[in-house]
């Protein structure tokens, strides 16, 4: 993508003045009498989200933009509202928003358009960054989130398992990574029975597969990312209702998140040996569909009874997590649009995460807060494991009617021995336009984990 950020002093950048009720008097002194008179005549007040374009000698002379007052603003991405409304040109922050770095990221992300099927001209807007902000790092973050949003927004007719593999291969080629894929019946030959069972009904045109990407020096610390790649989820024989099926193109949001994070890591050149595992399937309905009460022996040897075919994501992740665990990496992190229970508990904006590693949890929570990439820890409450009991197999793939996000995490925990395992239950979607977050596919949790990994391995 074309760079959004420009180096300081490379163009005549229009100043953006961020104002609150407390700071507006000082900003007015900087503006001078004529511009203050113009702002007064236009009825501008320093209220949250209020914007005013100021005249200059040869065109646009500046921009006033109202922010929330106080030291704990609710929305650090509010500057993302600016970039969608400004005329073409280069801009700079003449006064600081609450967090200049996050304001710059939001400014850039607010320009996002999904244009594959309908032409939409994005504003030709650039932002001049202060020298204190690493523009290269911000650009790679914006590129990664754009990648994830594009993948999630692409409908299943153009983003099936094969196309998801193509996306992984394209990213790998860009960074010198290697990719292998285990496809179709080869999944059985190479012991990925759960991935095969979930995806086999889609047929040869959308054959299930395990995408396996590696990058970095084998001698460096090992980190493995696992992303749920259900390219469309009908629910299987336990079919979803229409309202629940409508946005199921986003059920590969975990895979998109893993690829986005991988781009940040590889573009930054972090000192790690990265592995990305994506089980990619369509959960379709056909004569070959897996059925309720079927029992399969997983890669790890744990037998699984199918209590509900709409709980397919945890099945494909189980085989991928078992493979990841075989290498004993320092960290395994999986991302999945897994449960509606997570949305009921925390809504669309705050994904829950699960881990047994308290130090990891504390570090991730700090990074989530500092990056305005919200996450909230939920417990791996072991007494709920009884909900997953099966009379015919080692475990059932669903629990009871309550605590669904926890029981899903507990199910996957059975397939990992590493203590430093992280599971994030994503929504991967913004239901309505917000500053820096247009309606549609969204990349959640990746910036928070990137900050953590950069601190560890940068």
Spatial distance between the Cα atoms of 21 and 355, rounded to a whole number of angstroms:
42
- Reading the block at residue 6, the tokens are 């420009």
Q: At 383, phi and psi to the nearest 5?
A: -60, -25
CA angle 398–402–408, rounded 5-degree value: 40
Q: Residue 240 catalytic?
A: yes
Which residues fall within 8 angstroms of residue 176, CB to CB, at 6 or more apart? Answer: 215
Q: Is 212 helix (H, G, I), strand (E, B) or coil?
A: strand
Nearest residue to 424 via CA among 385, 457, 377, 368: 377
DSSP class of residue 206?
Answer: G
Residue carrying the six token digits 């391995």 = 457
Write down the catalytic residue from 209, 300, 314, 414.
314
Spatial distance between the Cα atoms of 123 and 120, rounded to a whole number of angstroms:
9
Which residues fall within 8 angstroms of residue 221, CB to CB, at 6 or more apart? Answer: 271, 272, 273, 329, 330, 456, 457
Which residues fall within 8 angstroms of residue 209, CB to CB, at 6 or more apart? Answer: 161, 162, 165, 181, 182, 183, 184, 187, 195, 199, 279, 280, 281
Q: Is 371 helix (H, G, I), strand (E, B) or coil?
A: coil
The answer to whether residues 231 and 251 touch, using CB atoms and an 8 Å cutoff, is yes
How many Cβ atoms sit within 10 Å of the Cβ of residue 72?
Answer: 6
Spatial distance between the Cα atoms of 225 and 254, rounded to a whole number of angstroms:
10
Nearest residue to 395 via CA among 379, 417, 411: 411
The answer to whether residues 351 and 419 touch, using CB atoms and an 8 Å cutoff, is no
Write down the catalytic residue from 240, 268, 366, 456.
240
Spatial distance between the Cα atoms of 439 and 429, rounded to a whole number of angstroms:
7
- Residues designated catalytic: 240, 314
């Amino acid at each position: 993508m074309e760079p959004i950020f420009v180096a300081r002093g490379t163009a005549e950048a229009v100043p953006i003045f961020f104002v609150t009720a407390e700071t507006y008097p000082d900003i007015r002194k900087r503006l001078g009498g004529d511009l203050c008179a113009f702002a007064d005549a236009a009825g501008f007040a320093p209220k949250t989200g209020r914007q005013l374009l100021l005249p200059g000698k040869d065109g646009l002379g500046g921009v006033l933009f109202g922010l929330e007052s106080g030291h704990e603003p609710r929305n650090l991405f509010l500057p993302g509202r600016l970039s969608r409304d400004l005329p073409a040109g280069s801009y700079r922050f003449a006064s600081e928003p609450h967090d200049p770095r996050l304001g710059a990221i939001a400014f850039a992300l607010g320009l996002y358009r999904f244009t594959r099927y309908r032409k939409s001209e994005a504003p030709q807007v650039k932002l001049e960054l202060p020298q204190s902000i690493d523009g290269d790092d911000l650009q790679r973050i914006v590129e990664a989130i754009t990648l994830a949003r594009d993948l999630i927004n692409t409908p299943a007719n153009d983003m099936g398992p094969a196309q998801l593999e193509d996306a992984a291969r394209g990213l790998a080629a860009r960074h010198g990574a290697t990719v292998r894929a285990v496809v179709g019946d080869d999944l059985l030959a190479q012991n990925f029975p759960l991935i095969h069972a979930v995806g086999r009904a889609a047929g040869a045109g959308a054959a299930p597969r395990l995408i396996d990407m590696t990058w970095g020096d084998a001698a460096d610390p090992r980190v493995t990312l696992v992303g749920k790649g259900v390219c469309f989820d009908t629910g299987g024989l336990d079919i979803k209702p229409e309202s629940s099926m409508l946005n199921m193109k986003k059920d590969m949001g975990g895979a998109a998140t893993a690829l986005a994070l991988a781009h940040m890591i590889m573009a930054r050149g972090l000192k790690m040996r990265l592995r990305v595992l994506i089980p990619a399937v369509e959960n379709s309905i056909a004569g070959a569909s897996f059925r309720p009460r079927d029992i399969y022996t997983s890669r790890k040897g744990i037998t699984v009874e199918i209590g509900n075919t709409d709980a397919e994501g945890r099945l494909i992740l189980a085989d991928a997590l078992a493979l990841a665990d075989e290498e004993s990496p320092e960290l395994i992190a999986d991302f999945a649009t897994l449960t509606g229970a997570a949305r009921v508990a925390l809504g669309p904006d705050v994904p829950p995460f699960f881990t047994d590693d308290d130090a990891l949890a504390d570090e991730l929570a700090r990074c989530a807060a500092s990056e305005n990439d919200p996450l909230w820890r939920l417990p791996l409450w072991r007494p709920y494991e009884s909900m997953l009991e099966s009379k015919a197999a080692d475990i059932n793939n669903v629990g009871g009617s309550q605590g669904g996000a926890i029981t899903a995490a507990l199910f996957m925990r059975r397939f990992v021995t590493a203590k430093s395992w992280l599971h994030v239950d994503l929504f991967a979607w913004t239901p309505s336009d917000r500053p820096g977050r247009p309606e549609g596919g969204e990349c959640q949790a990746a910036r928070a984990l990137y900050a953590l990994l950069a601190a560890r391995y940068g």
